[in-house]
Amino acid sequence: MKVARLRPNGFTLIELLVVIAIIAVLMAILMPSLALVKEQARTVGCMANLKQWALVTAMYAQENDGKFWSGVNYGGAGTYGYFWPWQLEDRLKDWKVNEMWFCPSATKPIIDENGNQRPTLNIWNAWGIFTNDVSCQTTHKTYKAGPHGMSGSYTINGYILDIRSLAGPEATFERSGVPAENGWSAYNVSGAGNVPLFCDSTRFDVWPVANDWPFEDEFAVHSQSDSDMGRICINRHRGYTGCAFMDSSARKVGLKELWTLKWHRQFNTAGPWTLAGGVGPSDWPEWMRHLRDY
């Protein structure tokens, strides 16, 4: 009588190698798709946060005779309009509780809770944490930073700040030299869907001018702080950035499109960094040349 030879349980080495090879091929195929899905989720989260900031701004204006925050005059003449986050309600200040401060792609403050600063500021950092209180020389009011300080990864369009309430009708936005009368400072304007309220950024306030340039380094921006547009022309969303607008909408904005938005009433939307103004492919930093033109 013949005895049947039983095959041992388990896989042979060759079979295991084949399975591992198949898994590796599948992972190579799927990983880019998974990365894209994760990026899309972060972008959706960013737009949702910016939409919330647009609604906060609208509600504040409705309760304040249609006007926006003034910012703080913290150091005498020429310092009007700074430190606007300190004027928020306490419930909105706490970055530990209020997640809408952060783009999901930039959640780590440049200064941590122990006061330690990261070596360089890059587009994946949030600004802050700022724990100092700020006193306004015009109103003699002190604004608190909140229980955990101030931090975030969005900026306000500084031209919406109502600095005329602090400095009078002849004031100028000190950082850009633009007259205050060219600012928005009130809601319900023509073309509101092209007027930025908030954007992804590496600081909490910006006053862009048409001549501002994009940074040569795609990631490190700390050493080139004299271009406010450079602080919002940051590649957090694959050639796009997030913006909320005065009509309470929020959408992705192409990085080159930033120069075509109506930052203030007299902003030149056909300036030197636009197609209408004659910008050429070689004028852009290398990392931006493949991006869509506007």
Classify each residue of 215-252 as buried b or exposed e, where b means 16 or more C-beta atoms within 10 Å of its C-beta: bebbeebeeeeebbbbbbbbbbbeebbbbbbbbbebeb
Tokens 């399975």 correspond to what residue?
19
Residue 17 pLDDT class (50, 70, 90 cuts): confident
pLDDT over threshold 90, residue 8: no
Residue (of 267, 245, 226) closest to 51 by Cα position? 245
Give residue-wise pLDDT tens across range 47-70.
999 999 999 999 999 999 999 999
**Is the pLDDT score of 5 beyond 60?**
no
The Cβ of residue 145 has, within 10 Å, a number of other Cβ atoms equal to 20
Q: Which of 105, 202, 99, 111 is nearest to 149 (CA)?
A: 111
Q: How confident is the model at residue 284 (pLDDT cuts 50, 70, 90)?
A: very high
Helices (H) and strands (E) in the chain, counts: 4, 12
The pLDDT assigned to 105 comes to: 95
pLDDT at 146: 86
- In the chain, the DSSP E strands lie at 108-109, 125-130, 134-136, 141-143, 150-152, 154-157, 172-173, 178-179, 196-200, 205-206, 240-245, 250-254
pLDDT score of 177 more than 90: yes
pLDDT tens for residues 248-273?
A: 999 999 999 999 999 999 999 999 99
Q: Which residue has the tokens 């902003």?
A: 267
Q: Which two tokens stand for residue 261?
A: 């938005």
pLDDT digits (tens, 9 = 90+) for 105-128: 999 999 988 888 888 778 999 999
Percentage of residues of the chain with pLDDT beyond 70? 92
